[in-house]
Amino acid sequence: MKTFNEFSRRDFLRAGAIAAGALALGNPLSLFAAKPGKKLGIALVGLGYYSTGQLGPALQHTQNCYLAGIVTGHPAKAAEWSKRYNIPQKNIYNYETFDQIKNNPDIDIIYVVLPVSMHKEYTIRAAQAGKHVICEKPMALNAGECRDMIAAVKKAGRLLSIGYRLHFEPHTMEIMRLGQKQIYGKVKSIDTGNGFTYRGDPNAWRLKKAMAGGGGLMDMGIYSIQGTRYTLGLEPIAVKARQEKTRPELFKEVDETIYWELEFPGGFVSTGKSSYNNDWSYLHVEAERGKFGLGPAFGYGGIDGYTPEGQMPFPQIVQQAAQMDDFANCVVQNKQSRVPGEEGLKDMKVVDAIYRSLESGKKENI
């Protein structure tokens, strides 16, 4: 058995190298080195909050890929991005010209950063244009759409990955190791929550069921569900959920706060919650020989972790840079990402079952 203090040098170097690769521009020792001299071109589709605040800047830290193109419906944004990131006119598309990307050899990967209801269509069109695809979370409106996306990308002979940046984050990777390898013994309980207090536009797509699929559960709860899955390394079989609405005038169409109990094979039951009305970001695990966990657990503004030995000593990294570099490397090596479409589907099956449980008031199989 290996405790945190005995955490192997190889593991530590691995986590450190991810950080260094993401943070140090031009670091030739990057773990994710692709073909020497050839960075893959990424085109971002949808230049909203996440592309502007995170993905565009993160692509200035990547080793294996670069920001080659954009797809936007707003000419003013196109001009601004073109100037800021030196993107040539020939690599700028709008939603009408999107499919012409197939003729553009500069673009290897299309990253779909749109409202959830558009994920399926643009992922499939991107693959049909011959490009590899990263699609943001939640993968789609429901598990059925996820299956269609996986099948279409496979048929096109391309790779699909979901924007699950935490799988490349050192504290999170350590939690996976501690839980799955039972470093502190069998896991006895898991409690996790993710949410924020919604203060945005009351007319935004996030509050419209047709565009978002749901509320706090789809947007934030997906992380708590996944956190439980990657701590245990198991797939849940059933779920019982209940919801609470304190601001029904705002959350007319989508869920505000949901609490659930997730059942795993062998009878283990975890607790989880999601919200658009509470600031939560934690994952607490109790194992036979001690407690470990994360808090903040799911954001990109800094992750902290603890074990019975104390605080985890890992660096903060540019998660999205590590995530995109890894996918570019997968494309070069023609291998599946550690967060393929199937990983998005697994989470959406749980989400679908939680919504079914809210409807039926009963435990639902996943």
Residues acting as catalytic residues? 137, 223
Of 41-49, 100-108, 190-198, 247-255, which segment contacts ligand NAD by CB under 6 A?
A: 41-49
Nearest residue to ligand NAD on Cβ basis: 48
Of 109-117, 125-133, 176-184, 341-349, which segment contacts ligand NAD by CB under 6 A?
A: 109-117
Site for ligand NAD in 66-105 (CB under 6 A): 73
> How near is the Cβ of 195 to ligand NAD at its closest, in Å?
14
> Which residue, 253 or 359, is less far from ligand NAD as judged by CB?
253
Verify binding: residue 116, ligand NAD, rule CB under 6 A: yes
> How near is the Cβ of 300 to ligand NAD at its closest, in Å?
6
Q: With contacts defined by CB under 6 A, how many residues of the chain interact with ligand NAD?
A: 18
Distance, CA of 111 to CA of 170 (rounded, Å): 23
> Which residue, 4 or 276, is less far from ligand NAD as judged by CB?
276
Q: Which residues of 12-50 are buried (b: 16+ CB within 10 A; e: fewer)?
A: eeebbbbbbbbeeeeeeebbbbbeeeebbbbbbbbbeeb
Strand 238-244 relative to strand 257-263: parallel, antiparallel, unpaired? Answer: antiparallel
Of 107-115, 149-157, 285-293, 358-366, which segment contacts ligand NAD by CB under 6 A?
A: 107-115
Interface with ligand NAD (CB under 6 A), residue from 16, 48, 295, 313: 48
Verify binding: residue 114, ligand NAD, rule CB under 6 A: yes
> How near is the Cβ of 288 to ligand NAD at its closest, in Å?
33
Sheet (strand 92-93) strand order: 92-93, 65-71, 40-45, 109-112, 132-135, 160-162
Verify binding: residue 220, ligand NAD, rule CB under 6 A: no
> Which residue, 136 or 326, is less far from ligand NAD as judged by CB?
136
CA 154 to chain centre: 20
Of 46-54, 174-182, 191-199, 347-355, which segment contacts ligand NAD by CB under 6 A?
A: 46-54
Verify binding: residue 47, ligand NAD, rule CB under 6 A: yes
Verify binding: residue 49, ligand NAD, rule CB under 6 A: yes
> How near is the Cβ of 49 to ligand NAD at its closest, in Å?
3
- The alpha carbon dihedral of 233, 281, 166, 349 has a sign of positive
Q: How far is CA 179 from CA 62, 226, 254, 292, in A?
A: 30, 13, 33, 9
Site for ligand NAD in 120-149 (CB under 6 A): 136-137
Interface with ligand NAD (CB under 6 A), residue from 41, 56, 69, 163: 163
> How near is the Cβ of 283 to ligand NAD at its closest, in Å?
16
Nearby residues of 83 by Cβ (< 8 Å), 6 or more positions away: none
Interface residues toward ligand NAD, by CB under 6 A: 46-51, 73, 113-116, 136-137, 163, 165, 205, 219, 300
